[in-house]
């Protein structure tokens, strides 16, 4: 029985399906851990396959290759270096589990299966995994480790069973995605498990982007009193090494370690947007992004995120003026590109508008101009961006925000064109707040310039699509502070109209917003993926029927 042990927490960025690449990341972290005296290196949930693997785990030949990679890693532990505790899909008697595997002395020395499978929000693990039994502790070097996998920590059953069975240290393998204020919730739950069991807790979380999800890392260690003694920085890979010693009372204590940076609020949202876009572009091997730069705030902050994520050389902005585009907008777009140092081309859509008017004149005869002509402008811009994408390979970055997408204030095959959206889950009021924040802050790891990146006039002028003379968003929408509060009530909180009106909102406005939200569902189904920020993003979080006659208004 040992009285001291060094454990390394490997907060790494794996990629779904990249089994050999993930294996190399595991190896690199193991080598670093060995160099710092670790006897055990702990990795996130499903690190071998990447998380979430979704329907890949329904393919037997995928699971065959996962098991081959695990076998390779297990064999390498014969070299006298650290053992590995890592997450992987695992088959037992024809069933597939979300498992924690201890690889030591050349073999899979122990297997523990995830007991509590989440089936809400973005999670649907019951669809692809079987639930394991309540786990028993596993022993490593005389230490009884109580191993839990992610959701197992969110309720008391698993930690309680492990404590009763004699666990001495709780170890939690996680793939817990970012959303606003969630890190505090995780931390409080971990403290609760410590208080219930009297055991110290080691929490390792994945980091990086996977489609719409961003994993913020922030791995941490709590002592038996629930005090934070070590924490990895958020939003980047990190190896956190902890030294543990058994006291005279037989309980394990950990030496205080590094307390890494932990952004919250607007800083965390911005970091999530940067990491989500960077990994989506890089993991899918796009050379860069291009976006329409209108002179408005949404495209300005989208361009800033893109430059911070990828560098100015991989961001191509395109200004596409029409006869309704103001000189201010043209100047503001040029200033944004200049502040960010990225390429800006100008492609006027005026001649194309004339051509389409001429083309459609015979079939539009006898009708007045309306939203049809406005949408044609947006679709011409989408056509230009997609043509540039096809020609040069860069991915189109959509710039619409959550407020617009909620009420259908976006044009199919126009401004909704794109491969990804960093603002998809960001309300307009938050867009303004993020822009002001970025003007005074340079995020950790950002590749863009410090200082102001969104011109003051872009922050102060009334938002407008500029599709007809003297147009502003508030011609057809409530003020954004009103709209966003109503939308948050409807989308995040599933409140009824009576409750929303009780908050001080006009009943007619509530009814109109609710109607627009429901009617725009068919558009949102055709929108590109984007970074999940809130508790209830459009997509996997919120699954509403398109054909829907449920009357919800007053």
pLDDT higher than 70, residue 464: no
Q: Which pLDDT score, from 0 to 100, does residue 11 have?
A: 97
Size of the chain, expressed as the number of residues it contains: 554
Query: Per-residue pLDDT tens for 33-89?
Result: 999 999 999 999 999 999 999 999 999 999 999 999 999 999 999 998 999 999 999
Residues 332/457, Cβ–Cβ less than 8 Å: yes
Residue indicated by tokens 């459009």: 538
Query: Last residue of a domain, which of 201, 233, 256?
Result: 256
DSSP labels for 496-549? -HHHHHHTT--HHHHHHHHHHHHHTHHHHTTSPPB---SSS-BTTTB---SS--
pLDDT of 470 strictly over 90: no
Can you tell me the distance from the alpha carbon of 204 to that of 227, in angstroms, rounded to the nearest whole number?
Answer: 16
Q: Which residue has the tokens 């959701």?
A: 151
With cut-offs at 50, 70 and 90, classify the pLDDT of residue 254: confident
Q: How far is CA 518 from the centre of its chain?
A: 25
For the segment 314-333, the average pLDDT, to the nearest whole number, is 93
Mapped onto helix, strand or coil, the DSSP state of residue 276 is helix
Residues 369 and 508 grouped into a single domain? yes
Active-site residue (options: 54, 114, 428, 488): 114
The pLDDT tens digits of the residues spanning 490-547 come to 999 889 889 999 999 999 999 999 999 999 999 999 999 999 999 888 888 888 888 8
Residue 534 within any structural domain of the chain = no
The total number of structural domains in the chain stands at: 2
CATH label of the domain that carries residue 247: 3.60.110.10
Average pLDDT over residues 160-172: 95
Two tokens, residue 249: 């009372």
Give the per-residue pLDDT at 548.
82
- Residues 223-252 have pLDDT tens digits of 999 999 999 999 999 999 999 998 878 888
Q: Please state the rounded mean pLDDT for residues 417-433.
A: 95
Task: Give pLDDT tens digits for 358-393.
Answer: 999 999 999 998 889 888 999 999 999 999 999 999
Same domain, 185 and 295: no
Average of per-residue pLDDT across 408-414 = 88
Q: Is residue 553 part of a domain?
A: no
Expressed in percent and rounded to 5, the helix, strand and coil fractions of the chain are 40, 20, 40
At residue 551, the pLDDT reads: 67
Is there a single domain that holds both residue 377 and residue 484? yes
Residue 128 lies in a domain: yes
Distance from chain centroid for Cα 509: 32
> Residues 343, 315: contact at Cβ < 8 Å?
yes
DSSP designation for 488: H
538 located within any domain: no
Predicted confidence at residue 121, as pLDDT, reads 74
Residue 237 lies in a domain: yes
Residue 552 has pLDDT above 70, yes or no: no
Strand partners, 217: 234
**255: which 2 tokens?**
């030496």
| Residue 357 domain-assigned (yes or no) | yes
* Judgement on whether residues 25 and 148 belong to the same structural domain of the protein: yes
Tell me what the mean pLDDT of segment 441-468 comes to. 85
Mean pLDDT score, 210-231: 94
**421, two tokens:** 């959206």
**The tokens of 300 are what?**
């300005």
Nearest to 406 by CA among 297, 503, 302, 486: 486
Question: What is the pLDDT, as a whole number, of residue 167?
Answer: 95
Q: What is the pLDDT of residues 297-319, one digit of tens each?
A: 999 999 999 999 999 999 999 99
Does one domain contain both 243 and 287? no
HSE at residue 442, side-chain half, CA atoms within 13 A, is: 10
Name the residue among 294, 298, 305 with its Cα closest to residue 335. 294
> What is the average per-residue pLDDT within 447-472?
79
Burial class of residue 299, CB neighbours in 10 A (0-12, 13-18, 19+): buried
In the numeric block, the tokens 């950002």 are attached to 446
Q: Are residues 281 and 171 in the same domain?
A: no
- The Cα–Cα gap between 215 and 350 comes to 43
Is residue 489 annotated as part of the catalytic site, yes or no? no
265 CB neighbour count, 10 Å cutoff: 11
Residue 1 is predicted with a pLDDT of 61
> Contact, 224 vs 254, CB < 8 A?
no
- Could you list the residue range(s) of the whole structural domain that residue 69 is in? 4-256
**CATH code at 516?**
3.40.50.620
Assess whether pLDDT exceeds 80 at residue 554: no
Asked if residue 241 is part of any domain, the answer here is yes
The per-residue pLDDT for range 347-365, each reduced to its tens digit, is 999 999 999 999 999 999 9
Query: Does 443 map to a domain?
Result: yes
On whether both 382 and 342 belong to a single domain, the answer is yes
Per the annotation, the verdict on 114 as an active-site residue is yes
Is 70 exceeded by the pLDDT of residue 467? no
- Residue 96 pLDDT > 70: yes
* Residue 216, SS3 per DSSP: strand
3-state secondary structure 95-134: EEEEEEEEEECCEEEEEEECCCCCCCCCCCHHHCCECCCC
- Among candidate residues 54, 125, 150, 212, the one labeled active-site is 150
**Could you tell me the end-to-end alpha-carbon distance of the chain, in angstroms, rounded to an integer?**
69
**CA dist., res. 216 & res. 232, Å (int):** 10
Place of tokens 């489609």: 211
- Is pLDDT of 334 > 90? yes
User: Is 122 in the same domain as 183?
Assistant: yes
């Amino acid at each position: 029985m040992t009285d001291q042990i060094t454990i390394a927490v490997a907060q790494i960025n794996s990629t779904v399906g990249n089994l050999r690449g993930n294996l190399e990341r595991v190896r690199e972290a193991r080598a670093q851990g060995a160099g710092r005296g670790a006897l055990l290196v702990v990795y996130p949930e499903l690190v071998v396959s990447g998380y979430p693997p979704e329907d890949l785990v329904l393919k037997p030949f995928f699971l065959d290759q996962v098991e081959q990679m695990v076998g390779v890693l297990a064999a390498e532990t014969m070299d006298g270096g650290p053992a590995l505790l890592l997450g992987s899909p695992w088959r037992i008697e024809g069933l597939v589990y979300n498992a924690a595997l201890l690889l030591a002395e050349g073999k899979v020395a122990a297997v523990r299966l995830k007991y509590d499978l989440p089936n809400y929000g973005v999670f649907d693990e019951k669809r692809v995994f079987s639930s394991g039994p309540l786990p028993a502790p596993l022993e490593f070097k005389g230490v009884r480790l109580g191993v839990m996998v992610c959701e197992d920590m969110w309720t008391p059953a698993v930690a309680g069973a492990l404590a009763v069975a004699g666990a001495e240290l709780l170890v939690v393998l996680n793939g817990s995605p970012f959303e606003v204020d969630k890190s505090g919730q995780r931390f409080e739950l971990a403290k609760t498990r410590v208080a219930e069991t009297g055991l110290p807790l080691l929490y390792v979380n994945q980091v990086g982007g996977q489609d719409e999800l961003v994993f913020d890392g922030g791995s941490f260690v709590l002592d038996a009193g629930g005090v934070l003694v070590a924490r990895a920085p958020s939003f980047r890979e990190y190896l956190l090494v902890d030294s543990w010693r058994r006291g005279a009372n037989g309980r394990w204590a950990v030496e205080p370690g590094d307390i890494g940076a932990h952004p919250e609020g607007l800083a965390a949202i911005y970091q999530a947007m940067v990491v989500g876009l960077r990994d989506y572009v890089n993991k899918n091997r796009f050379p860069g992004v291009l976006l329409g730069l209108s002179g408005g705030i949404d495209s300005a902050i989208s361009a800033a995120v893109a430059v911070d994520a990828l560098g100015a050389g991989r961001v191509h902005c395109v200004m596409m003026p029409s006869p309704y585009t103001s000189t201010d907008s043209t100047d503001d777009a040029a200033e944004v590109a200049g502040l960010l140092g990225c390429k800006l081309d100008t492609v006027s859509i005026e001649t194309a508008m004339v051509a389409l008017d001429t083309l459609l004149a015979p079939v539009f005869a006898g009708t007045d101009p309306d939203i049809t002509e406005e949408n044609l402008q947006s679709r011409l811009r989408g056509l230009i961006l997609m043509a540039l994408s096809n020609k040069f390979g860069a991915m189109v970055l959509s710039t619409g925000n959550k407020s617009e997408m909620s009420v259908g204030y976006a044009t199919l095959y126009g401004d909704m064109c794109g491969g990804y959206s960093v603002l998809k889950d960001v309300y307009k009021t938050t867009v303004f707040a993020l822009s002001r924040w970025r003007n005074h802050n340079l995020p950790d790891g950002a590749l863009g310039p410090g200082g102001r990146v969104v011109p003051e006039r872009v922050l102060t002028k009334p938002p407008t699509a500029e599709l007809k003379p003297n147009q502003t968003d508030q011609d057809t929408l409530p003020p954004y502070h009103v709209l966003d509060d109503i939308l948050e009530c409807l989308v995040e909180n599933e409140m009824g109209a009576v409750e929303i009106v009780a908050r001080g909102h006009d009943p007619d406005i509530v009814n109109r917003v609710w109607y627009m939200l429901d009617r725009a569902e068919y558009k949102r189904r055709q929108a590109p993926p984007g970074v999940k920020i809130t508790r209830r993003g459009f997509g996997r979080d919120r699954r509403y029927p398109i054909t829907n006659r449920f009357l919800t208004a007053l």
